[in-house]
Amino acid sequence: MDFREFRRYHKSFLLFFAIVLVALAGLDAFVVYKRHRYVRERERLRAGMNDAERRKTDLVLGSEDNRLKVMMALLRRQAQLDKQIHLAVAVDSGSMYLEREGALLREIPVRIGPERRVGTPPDTVHMVAPRGERTVERVLGKSDGWEVPAWVYMDRGLPVPAERSVKGALGPVAILLTGGTVIYAPPSAGPLNDSSYVLPGAVRASAVDLRAIVPNLKPGTAVYFY
């Protein structure tokens, strides 16, 4: 069979292959863009350092970058090999996956809370995007209360109420993880009721997507952040 006949009988395959190539090219472009921004910011910071500070910073950055890259690669690999159903969150690309032993069961677009220092000095906490492995502690519904941390009200510029337990504060469905990390849906009550605000250190997804996956989750289910 020559290419002309192959194209006539396998149009759908060729179309799928073209879409995959375009998607890979787009992903490569995104990675190059992120790397360019990182390099530009690093050079801007280096410009204000003396020679000794530059040498010390280069050593620290090289060590930490390599360690972080290895750690994230191992986590991604561990998620792919996990035989139990689990969640995997690709923090930089804003995607969450319901997987089992490398098989993708559902892909969900998510928003990751921004890095921020919260609280009132000297009692402050640096909130960053979650990394590493967590496990599910419990699933909340719209009638379940969640005690909103005081710093959330302060971060929103709101007065801290005496009673901070709010029903549906994490939306109609939410997943509480070990370490205090939450995966939640846009709520209609409480200080998180703002489409432009994402809780620092948390993950926000649509209620439709979360309702679809929570029947597959139970306490102890692994969640990988890389």
Residues 116, 51: Cα–Cα separation, whole Å? 30
- Contact present, 76 and 212 (Cβ < 8 Å): no
From the list 90, 116, 85, the residue with the least C-alpha distance to 102 is 85
pLDDT at 32: 75
pLDDT at 68: 63
Residue 146 host element (H or E): strand 145-147
pLDDT at 66: 60
pTM of the full structure = 0.68
Residue at 215: amino acid letter? P
Backbone angles phi, psi at 198, to 5 degrees: -120, 130
The total of other beta-carbon atoms located within 10 Å of residue 145's CB is 15
Q: What is the mean pLDDT of each run of 10 residues along the chain (226 residues)?
A: 63 75 79 70 66 68 60 77 93 94 94 87 83 94 93 92 94 96 95 95 97 96 95
pLDDT at 21: 82
pLDDT at 121: 75
pLDDT at 166: 95
pLDDT at 97: 97
Place of tokens 């190539």: 21
Contacts 24+ apart (CB under 8 A), 208-215: 209/106, 209/108, 209/109, 210/108, 210/171, 210/173, 210/174, 210/175, 210/183, 210/184, 210/185, 211/172, 211/173, 212/106, 213/87, 213/98, 213/106, 213/108, 214/139, 214/173, 214/175
Quick one: tokens of 223?
Answer: 């969640």
pLDDT at 37: 72
